[in-house]
């Protein structure tokens, strides 16, 4: 049976979360000018907490992120949020998240080409705002190597089970490769997938949990260039 390899998109194939961190940094420093109660680190922690709260309503991606920044900024700044157009400042700062260039992770192109040339069937599973994620996938310079892609709201065991049904696959014939211990690795393992974990320094804290040590054992790589050590 041909092996089917699924890749996560953000922070596995392309650079993503670094942009979010940069926007957080700019907005937190702006808020500090109006605030004496919270430190820079505490403001950024509030951003994270608000994003967790808003996940169910807004899902993953720029919309949740931007909304959460605005809510935290208003809670801390108060009336000056409107007087000084902090909303406009946040919108302008966050615009890069919707329109940034698609930049591949170093080594991603070579890894994907290697697997494609070896005859593996390749697909992408990504989560977030459908229009944003679709634009990212369609703009990929390596899109031609992927047979298909799927966009989900969350990456859960049931999502992976739906993927198996969609492609009429057995879990033991599938690999999931990603940087998120929670969504890419542990939930895929619950559905029976083989998994390859590639840590990324910018992985969102909500996704950063201990990799499940249940079988099948997860392959852990330092970077995507080490794909050749497994396949």
Residues 182 and 171 in one domain: yes
End-of-domain residue from the set 46, 79, 99: 99
Q: What pLDDT digit, counting tens, does each position of 143-192 carry? A: 999 999 999 988 999 999 999 999 999 999 999 999 999 999 999 999 99
Please report, for the domain that includes residue 73, its CATH number: 1.10.150
Residues 150 and 81 occupy one common structural domain: no
The answer to whether residue 223 scores a pLDDT higher than 90 is: yes
List b or e across 24-43, with b for residues whose CB sees 16 or more CB atoms inside 10 angstroms.
Answer: beebbebbeeebeebeeeeb
**Could you tell me the CATH number of the domain that includes residue 148?**
3.40.50.1000
Asked whether residue 30 falls in the same domain as residue 138, the answer is no
Task: Quote the number of domains for the chain.
Answer: 2
User: What range defines the domain where residue 31 resides?
Assistant: 17-99
On whether both 40 and 132 belong to a single domain, the answer is: no
Distance CA 5, CA 123 (A): 6
Is 112 in the same domain as 51? no
Confidence (pLDDT) at 119: 96
């Amino acid at each position: 049976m041909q092996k089917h390899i699924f890749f996560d998109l953000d922070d596995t194939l392309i650079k993503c979360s670094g942009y979010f961190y940069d926007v957080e940094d700019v907005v937190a420093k702006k808020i500090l000018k109006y605030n004496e109660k919270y430190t820079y680190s505490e403001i950024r922690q509030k951003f994270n907490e608000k994003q967790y709260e808003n996940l169910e309503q807004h899902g993953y991606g720029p919309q949740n992120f931007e909304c959460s920044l605005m809510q935290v900024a208003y809670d801390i700044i108060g009336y000056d949020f409107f007087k000084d157009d902090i909303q406009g400042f946040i919108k302008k700062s966050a615009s890069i998240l919707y329109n940034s260039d698609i930049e591949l992770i170093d080594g991603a192109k070579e890894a994907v080409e290697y697997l494609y040339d070896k005859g593996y069937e390749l697909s992408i599973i990504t989560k977030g705002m459908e229009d944003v994620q679709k634009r990212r996938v369609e703009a990929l310079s390596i899109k031609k190597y992927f047979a298909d892609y799927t966009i989900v709201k969350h990456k859960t065991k049931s999502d992976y089970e739906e993927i198996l049904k969609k492609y009429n696959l057995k879990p033991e014939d599938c690999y999931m490769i990603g940087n998120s211990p929670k969504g890419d690795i542990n939930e895929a393992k619950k559905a029976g997938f083989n998994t390859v974990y590639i840590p990324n320094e910018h992985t969102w804290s909500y996704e950063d949990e201990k990799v499940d040590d249940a079988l099948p054992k997860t392959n852990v790589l330092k970077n995507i260039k080490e794909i050749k050590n497994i396949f």
